[in-house]
Structure 1
């Protein structure tokens, strides 16, 4: 019988404030299996590391991959280079977590929504590269036209007066999951790693544990309309136009396989953001489209769940399962190369 899944919390850095991560593993994971490093959603302005999709926990548990969900400092109190520093520290922590040998462990880096941006920073700036990147309706770059075209998501522009308190508050990490349904709890899974049908988030999750104002997330909509993201993080975001440069062929050849899960009805991160980057990455990218789905459509789902797509039929969770299969392929390829 498999050892039970457990959760622990560790501090992995102090960058003005302590940075912590939640680790989901068991006592019998191999010391050389890859670590999945996850960065939470929230527009770089909110969210919480406790928001981990149940299906992702299932994937890592079944494969005996430690799952590390890391905090990072929020905008606008920091810039892109600070986010890179936080991502670097989390990546270094993941690479030596529980390692039984002097060599570093392989790491798969991924994130949901804006959290994926930190995963791409790792691939852009750090070595060794991750085994693979997994985008969950993610943002690979803020240099895409979507973030520089005064896109308006709410009915009306958000006045600065409505966000001023967030612009002037002290530096912080994400502590606002938004709802109890989004928080991962060990009791969401049965001992065999399948969905616990009796789990009730409203009675199990205490939202008073998350004191941060959940409305802080409106900063994303504010900055999107004001075209501020490149100003905020552009110092670390090179975008992907370099893929067209003959002089960058080596960088492209070393870029990790990048798997995109993306809904074609996403209004918060329009589909062409990831699709365009996937085209630029060419054979390094695998695109898994979920028809008729919006942003973070899978956030509370399990591998065995079904999201019926109307009127065509089909299951939108097939995009997630396809991405997982491609992730397995990337890891098997990495293993084969390391043994050759």
Structure 2
């Protein structure tokens, strides 16, 4: 079994939108697809930001892994994000199928801001995903964390520092390769950690537009701006507590979450509140004690690093959901 990387265009929404597909050459057409939305607070990142452990998990189960680019805030706004998420979901449902074939079952996941894209699909799209998988994910911007003038960096970021990016053109995320970006050479042909892999040298510390654009996340969080940008497609989860919401809750996909309890960028309670609203029979949360945001981004599934037990527990729960759905 050999894993291949294929790049395809999945949509054109003003600009071309591409995705990378990591797939075993013998993946069964009946196997689920894992649709993964990259981190970056919806303002940065790139589709190459995939943890090696996630590629390994999909490879071992013969699940094609699809990582799409999507248009970024603030230019895209909520409806643009929903449009891209829906197109990527439709692409995943039809990946490597023939005319007349049944659509693929799709596990939809994301890291950090990327999970907001996954949640949009669950809120707005039918049929629902097979399951949701949250990697320290932002499930809604209606949580108090994003509406309490939280200052994540040491100093407030001025509008002048962000004005260039706010006024800039529509774009998807791009990053120069570094230790956190995924390349197939990180794995052996059997899907294990490649001990001979030499990561690229870190880019020289320059004043890059990429890193500065990512600061929009801190800027928008401090200024409580995210609901203004995406609130029209973000219903939050308080609806689930209403007496007439039983049918809507019942159709919500089973959701697996892991989250560090030392995460300054997306506090743990963002995940806890989703679980508390939808119920523990719908949302299973694993807490990585002492771990910060994206602590596992450069880790492999076999690593005995702090927090990786929570990752493996989350994967085992996902396996349970997939098996029970067949």
* TM-score (structure 1 length as normaliser): 0.92
| Aligned partner of 1:250 among 223, 240, 247 | 247
Aligned to 1:159: 158
Deviation of residue 288 (structure 1)? 0.7
Residue by residue over 1:114-143, the C-alpha shift from the partner in whole angstroms, topping out at 9 and shown as x without a partner, is: 000000000000011001100001000000
CA separation in 1, counterparts of 2:189 and 2:25? 14
CA separation in 1, counterparts of 2:106 and 2:174? 25
Aligned to 1:313: none
Residue by residue over 1:98-129, the C-alpha shift from the partner in whole angstroms, topping out at 9 and shown as x without a partner, is: 12552100000000000000000000000110
Aligned to 1:93: 91
CA separation in 2, counterparts of 1:206 and 1:223? 27
Over 3 Å counting, the alpha-carbon distance change for 1:206 and 1:32 in structure 2 is farther
Aligned to 1:112: 111
| Aligned partner of 2:13 among 15, 26, 29 | 15
Query: How many pairs does the alignment contain?
Result: 321
CA separation in 2, counterparts of 1:218 and 1:5? 35
Instruction: Establish whether residue 330 from structure 1 lines up as the match of residue 309 from structure 2.
Output: no
CA separation in 2, counterparts of 1:167 and 1:117? 20
Aligned to 1:47: 45
Over 3 Å counting, the alpha-carbon distance change for 1:145 and 1:206 in structure 2 is closer
- Structure 2 regions of 5+ residues with no counterpart? none
Residue by residue over 1:66-121, the C-alpha shift from the partner in whole angstroms, topping out at 9 and shown as x without a partner, is: 00001110000011111000000000000000125521000000000000000000
Deviation of residue 245 (structure 1)? 1.2
Name the SS of the counterpart of 2:179 in structure 1: helix
Instruction: Establish whether residue 318 from structure 1 lines up as the match of residue 309 from structure 2.
Output: yes
CA contact (8 A) 1:32 1:99 kept: no
Aligned to 1:293: 291
| Aligned partner of 2:278 among 264, 278, 281 | 281
CA contact (8 A) 1:175 1:212 kept: no
Q: Which has the higher helix share?
A: 1
Deviation of residue 214 (structure 1)? 2.4
Q: CA-atom RMSD, angstroms?
A: 1.4
Deviation of residue 212 (structure 1)? 5.8
CA separation in 1, counterparts of 2:270 and 2:313? 20
Aligned to 2:82: 84
Deviation of residue 26 (structure 1)? 2.1
Name the SS of the counterpart of 2:248 in structure 1: helix
CA contact (8 A) 1:166 1:216 kept: yes
Aligned to 2:126: 127
CA separation in 1, counterparts of 2:324 and 2:80? 33
- Structure 1 regions of 5+ residues with no counterpart? 309-315, 336-340
Deviation of residue 181 (structure 1)? 0.8
Name the SS of the counterpart of 2:215 in structure 1: helix
Aligned to 1:222: 219
* TM-score (structure 2 length as normaliser): 0.96
CA separation in 2, counterparts of 1:5 and 1:212? 33
CA separation in 2, counterparts of 1:154 and 1:25? 38
Over 3 Å counting, the alpha-carbon distance change for 1:124 and 1:151 in structure 2 is same
